[in-house]
Amino acid sequence: MKPLLEDIKQELKAKNIYLSHQRLKVLECLIQNHCHPTAEELFIGLHKDMPTLSKTTVYNTLRILAESDLVRTITIEGNESRYDIVTGDHGHFKCGSCGMIFDFPIDFDSLLTKELIRFKIIEKNIYFKGLCPECISNKQKIK
Amino acid sequence: MKPLLEDIKQELKAKNIYLSHQRLKVLECLIQNHCHPTAEELFIGLHKDMPTLSKTTVYNTLRILAESDLVRTITIEGNESRYDIVTGDHGHFKCGSCGMIFDFPIDFDSLLTKELIRFKIIEKNIYFKGLCPECISNKQKIK
DNA sequence: TGTAGAATTGTAATGATTACAATTATTATA
DNA sequence: TATAATAATTGTAATCATTACAATTCTACA
Ligand SMILES: [Mn+2]
Ligand SMILES: [Mn+2]
Ligand SMILES: [Zn+2]
Ligand SMILES: [Zn+2]
C-alpha cells in the first residue's frame, strides 16, 4: 500500500530518473500527505521551506512521476488534477461539503464484465461523490 | 437506458425548465450521438445548421441539464468535460489510441464495501483506459 | 577543472470554461 | 393585441490551471 521513500528511490534509479532536491521534496510531501493534493497545494506547502521552488518544477515533477507510474493522477472535478502516491487500485470518495477525499478498497475483479473481454485495460479509476459521515452528522446538529 | 426526447421534454416541463430551440438542439444532438461529445464538439456540430448559436449557450445548456440530472458530466482527461445523455450507472472505457469512449455495464452493488457504509453516495463514476479491440488488432497488422 | 547534458526557473502562451452586459425572445397581463 | 416583466441568447472579456519556451543553474563524467 503505502510506499516507502526508499523503495521509490530505488525505482527511480532503476528507471534512470535523476532524483533532484526538488523532486525529492515533492515525493516526500506526497508520501506524508495522503490528502491527494493539487499541484498548487503542493507548491504552496513546499514553497515555505523552498522559496526558490518554481511551480513549473512541481508540474514537471508530477508529470515525470506519473509517466513512470510512481504517482497516480486523479481527475474528479475537471478543473483540477490531484495526485496520489498510492498507485495500486483503490477508489476515491469526495465529500461535496468539506471537500475531503477518502480512499476505499475496490474489488476490481467483480468489475470485469464480459463486455470488456477484448479490451486491454491499462488504467482503472473509480470515484464517488456525496457526503462524508462527519458532514452528515454536522447537518443533523444544525437541524 | 437510452432516453427518449419526449420523456426528457416531460421532465423539463416538470422541472420548469424552458425548452428553447437551442436547448432542444443540444438535447437532440446528445441523444443521437452517444459518443460522449465535448462542449466544443457539440458546438461545431450544431453550428452548421444554426450559425447564430453561441458557444456560451452550449455551456449554459449543458450546465442546466447536468444540474437537473438530465445529463451526466464525464471527466476522464482533466482538460475536457464530456457529456452523456445516459444518466444511469455505467462505466466508460477510453481507448488511448483512437480516443473512442465505450460504455460498459457495472454491478455497483459489488462496489459498496463496508468502508463506505456511513457515507452518503450521490454520484458514482468509473472509467478505464487502455486499448479497444479495433486498435489492438490494428497493431497486430503492423507487426 | 571543463564541458555536455539535464533540471530548474520565470514568464509568456494556451485553451477550456465562466462572467458579464447588451440584445433578443417569451410569457403574463391588461 | 399591445405592454411590461422575465428569461434566454449572444459576443466578448476575464479567469485559471496547465504547458511552452528560453535563459540560467546544476550534475556527472572525463
Ligand atoms: Mn488515494
Ligand atoms: Mn456513457
Ligand atoms: Zn465532508
Ligand atoms: Zn481504439
Does nucleic acid strand C have an atom less than 7 angstroms from the CB of A133?
no
**Nearest nucleotide by C1' position to the A20 CA atom:** C7
Q: Mark whether A64 and A12 lie in a shared domain.
A: yes
Say what the pLDDT of residue A141 is. Answer: 79
* Minimum-distance residue to D18 (CA–C1'): A59
> Look-up: residue for cell 455505467?
B90
**Of A121, A124, A131, Cβ closest to residue B119:** A131
Q: Read out DSSP for B85-126?
A: S--SS-EEEEETTT--EEEE---GGGG--GGGTTSEEEEEEE
Cell numbers for B115: 468502508
Q: Any idea what the CATH number is for the domain that residue B74 is in?
A: 1.10.10.10
Q: Mark whether A55 and A107 lie in a shared domain.
A: no
**Last residue of a domain, which of B60, B84, B108?**
B84
Q: Mark whether B22 and B78 lie in a shared domain.
A: yes
Element (H, E) at B129: strand B120-131
Q: Any idea what the CATH number is for the domain that residue A108 is in?
A: 3.30.1490.190
Number of domains in chain A: 2
Rounded Cα distance, A6 and A143, in Å:
50
Task: Write down the pTM of the prediction.
Answer: 0.93
Query: Distance (Å) from CA B81 to C1' C16?
Result: 9
Mutating which of A72, A125, A134 best tests the B interface, going by the most B Cβ atoms within 10 A? A125
Nearest alpha carbon to residue A61 among A31, A32, A19, A33: A19
Q: Which whole number is the average pLDDT over A51-79?
A: 97
SS3 A87: coil
Say what the pLDDT of residue B4 is. Answer: 83
Cell numbers for B80: 475536457
B132 touches chain A (CB under 8 A): yes
Domain that holds residue B44: 5-84
Say what the pLDDT of residue A5 is. Answer: 87
Q: How many CB pairs under 8 A join A and B?
A: 108
The residue in chain B having the minimum alpha-carbon distance to the alpha carbon of residue A112 is B106
The model's pLDDT over A6-27, given as tens digits with 9 standing for 90+, comes to 899 999 999 999 999 999 999 9
The model's pLDDT over B73-112, given as tens digits with 9 standing for 90+, comes to 999 999 999 999 999 999 999 999 999 999 999 988 888 8
Rounded Cα distance, B26 and B83, in Å:
11
Q: Mark whether B104 and B74 lie in a shared domain.
A: no
Q: Mark whether B105 and B78 lie in a shared domain.
A: no
Q: Mark whether A69 and A9 lie in a shared domain.
A: yes
Q: Mark whether A49 and A98 lie in a shared domain.
A: no
Q: Mark whether A80 and A95 lie in a shared domain.
A: no
- Closest CA of chain B from A134, distance in Å: 9
**Last residue of a domain, which of B37, B54, B84?**
B84
Q: Mark whether A101 and A33 lie in a shared domain.
A: no
Q: Mark whether A9 and A79 lie in a shared domain.
A: yes
- Closest CA of chain B from A124, distance in Å: 4
The model's pLDDT over B7-66, given as tens digits with 9 standing for 90+, comes to 999 999 989 999 999 999 999 999 999 999 999 999 999 999 999 999 999 999 999 999
Q: Mark whether B27 and B66 lie in a shared domain.
A: yes
**Last residue of a domain, which of A60, A84, A108?**
A84
Q: B71: which residues sit within 8 A by CB, 6+ positions away? A: B30, B62, B65, B83, B84, B85, B87
Hey, which residues 71-130 in chain B have their CB within 8 Å of chain A?
73, 75-78, 81, 91, 93, 96, 102, 104-107, 110-111, 113, 115-116, 118-130
Say what the pLDDT of residue A143 is. Answer: 64
Q: Mark whether B10 and B63 lie in a shared domain.
A: yes
